[in-house]
Amino acid sequence: MSLRGEACVVTGAAGFLGQRLVRLLLEEEQAAEIRLLDRRVRPQLLEALEDVRGDTQLSVFEGDIRDGEFLRKSCRGASIVFHVASIIDVKDAVEYGEIHGVNVKGTQLLLEACVQENVASFIYTSTIEVMGPNARGEPVVNGDEDTAYECALKFAYSKTKKEAERRTLQAHGELLRNGGRLATCALRPMYIYGEGCRFLLGHMADGVRNKDVLLRMSRPEARVNPVYVGNVAAAHLQAARGLQDPHKRNAIGGKFYFVSDDTPLVSYSDFNHAVMAPLGFRVQERLMYPLWLLYSFCFLMEVLCGALRPLVRVVPPLSRQLVTMLNTPFSFSYQRARRDLGYAPRYTWEEARRRTTEWLASELPAERQRIRAK
């Protein structure tokens, strides 16, 4: 199925994944309109898309995803919503009310807007972190959608994304005002990398400050499978085509799918080295500190910050949950997405690494200058 002639809404359209998804929709589909919904959409983004826009109308909707009337206006006359927007926070730096308001309430209001405005299809961008790893660091190697795992999530980010995903899947089959039915599905990408990834920029900056030696926060054996942003965008497009197909709609509706690719299994720290080694970076051979010492330090910091919380909010630089996430083998297969959605990675590991490294190389001079200026 094609999205030709349809009106599509992309929330978080100015973000890392959102921009890539909009460009892919323009390159491969002849949608009548793509609506870029975000708090702010820079004019430079629209200019950068002009070369692939064709006859598709690009419409900008700037506003708050917690505003129901704004969402209804954004969805009016649309047939499909890609809900990419969320607050990403792996340090618990954001107040719970704020992250819940955007990630959960915003998703609920958007689902309600779809029902009220007769939007037929809804794709939610979830995350591997709704699965874990749990606080005990129990590993998963090449898991799938049937893998049983006790989550016991601690991050507010993980909890709110899990709740938003649950509400999305529960909404599958809801009656629209025009008598039709809403079809929903959720995608759970692994850690997403590629051009524009702010986490990679942060790791590179730490390496520059450490005389071009990347910090090791992950044991080499704690292997995960990161996924390239271009492949995640492709999975969204395949999910949209599936939900638009009457023969597949009910088969994939109400389900979640893991999204990975052929990036080799590797620890987070060794992955950083893999994409930055061509730029002259090395990586520490061993963890900065033994794991028991890191956990002890994090525990003390959490107790201290908790005691100060009534007076001032202090965010520790590291938490036990983050240390666990970085040091737990946790990988998942994309074979069910291949089978049900027809998803296949568009970019090989070699091409994804080359593109990512070239982007980092373009950012490196400014990063060095910024750090020297401090």
The per-residue pLDDT for range 160-183, each reduced to its tens digit, is 999 999 999 999 999 999 999 999
pLDDT for 94 equals 86
User: Given the structure tokens 């794991």, which residue do they identify?
Assistant: 291
Which residue(s) pair with 193 in the sheet? 228
Which residue(s) pair with 57 in the sheet? 33
Confirm if 129 and 187 have CB atoms less than 8 A apart.
Answer: no
CA 170 to chain centre: 21
What average pLDDT is seen over the chain? Answer: 93
E strands, the chain, are 7-11, 33-38, 57-62, 80-83, 121-125, 140-143, 183-189, 192-193, 213-214, 227-228, 255-259, 282-283, 330-332
CATH number of 7-197+226-262+331-347: 3.40.50.720
CA 203 to chain centre: 18
pLDDT for 310 equals 77
pLDDT for 314 equals 77
- Angle (deg, nearest 10), helices 349-373 and 268-276: 90
Whole-Å CA distances, 317 to 72, 91, 305, 323: 39, 7, 11, 11
What pTM did the predictor assign? Answer: 0.95
pLDDT tens, per residue, the chain with 374 residues:
678 888 999 999 999 999 999 999 999 988 899 999 999 999 999 999 999 988 999 999 999 999 999 999 999 999 999 999 999 888 778 888 999 999 999 999 999 999 999 999 999 999 999 998 988 889 999 999 999 998 876 788 999 999 999 999 999 999 999 999 999 999 999 999 999 999 999 999 999 999 999 999 999 999 999 999 999 999 999 999 999 998 899 899 999 999 999 999 999 999 999 999 999 999 999 998 899 898 898 888 888 887 877 777 777 878 888 899 999 999 999 999 999 999 999 999 999 999 999 999 999 998 899 888 87
pLDDT for 304 equals 85
Active site residue ranges: 157
Q: Which tokens is 368 given? A: 């060095």
pLDDT for 230 equals 98
Which residue(s) pair with 186 in the sheet? 124, 256
Query: 194-232 b/e with 16+ CB inside 10 Å = b?
Result: bbbbeebeebbbebbeeeeebbbbbbeebbbbbbbbbbb
Which residue(s) pair with 181 in the sheet? 175
